[in-house]
Amino acid sequence: MTGHLPLGVLLGVVVPLVAGAAVGAGVRAGLARVRRPVLVPAGWSVLGSAFGCGVVATAAVVGLVAPARVPVLLVVTVLSVAGSATDVLVGRLPDMLTGSALVLGLGALMPSGSVLTGLAGAAVLGGLHAAVALAVPGALGGGDVKLAAALGGPLAAAGWWALAAAPVGAALALVVVAGVSRRRAVPLGPALLAVSWLLLLAGG
């Protein structure tokens, strides 16, 4: 009917919103049960995941993101919300997040046929961060290296340009945040996650 959204379009956005909220709640519950629990506020985890998944779904519905790219974008969306929360709140990235995201992210590349490219990207970005961690002790934590590997797959699948742009964009974001907040130590996770998510969304 004129003036009303088609049912398919409505469901295409509402269902991911609800699913994102449910997944966010599940991840929050899981983080509260790991060996070193992280208590993430419900609003941050649930609403953040719902909003992010809704943005991805809307982009897909209007044709800005190819359907085959939606699964991996949803994985990165949930990781971005939960990973940013844990890194800001407790200064670490639990293996539950980074390990799961690495496996799920590579699996989500199957619809686009980019699994091998994803494996290469995970090795390149993870290896780059591992080299920095070894060369400059204290500059990066183990969680940062594992996060880089988890993001390397989706970024490489989007394009090697994205894999190259993500760490550069994250470094620039860190400089800006450190300057504004006047803090010497700013966690890498939120910056790398935010930049990677935006690059993947823009390159969808």
In the block, residue with structure tokens 């490489």: 156
Two structure tokens written together for 29: 């519950």
Spatial contact of 105 and 72, defined as CB atoms under 8 Å apart: yes
Two structure tokens written together for 50: 């719902």
Helices 142-158 and 95-107, packing angle to 10 deg: 20
Separation CA 106–CA 86 (nearest Å): 22
Q: What is the pTM of this model?
A: 0.91
Cα atoms in the 13 Å half-sphere on the side-chain side of 185 = 7
Residue 13's pLDDT is what?
Answer: 74
Taking only the tens of pLDDT, the chain with its 204 residues reads 444 556 556 666 788 889 999 999 999 999 999 999 999 999 999 999 999 999 999 999 888 999 999 999 999 999 999 999 999 999 999 999 999 999 999 999 998 899 999 999 999 999 999 999 999 988 899 999 999 999 999 999 999 999 999 999 999 999 888 788 777 678 899 999 999 999 999 986
Separation CA 75–CA 156 (nearest Å): 15
Residue 2's pLDDT is what?
Answer: 42
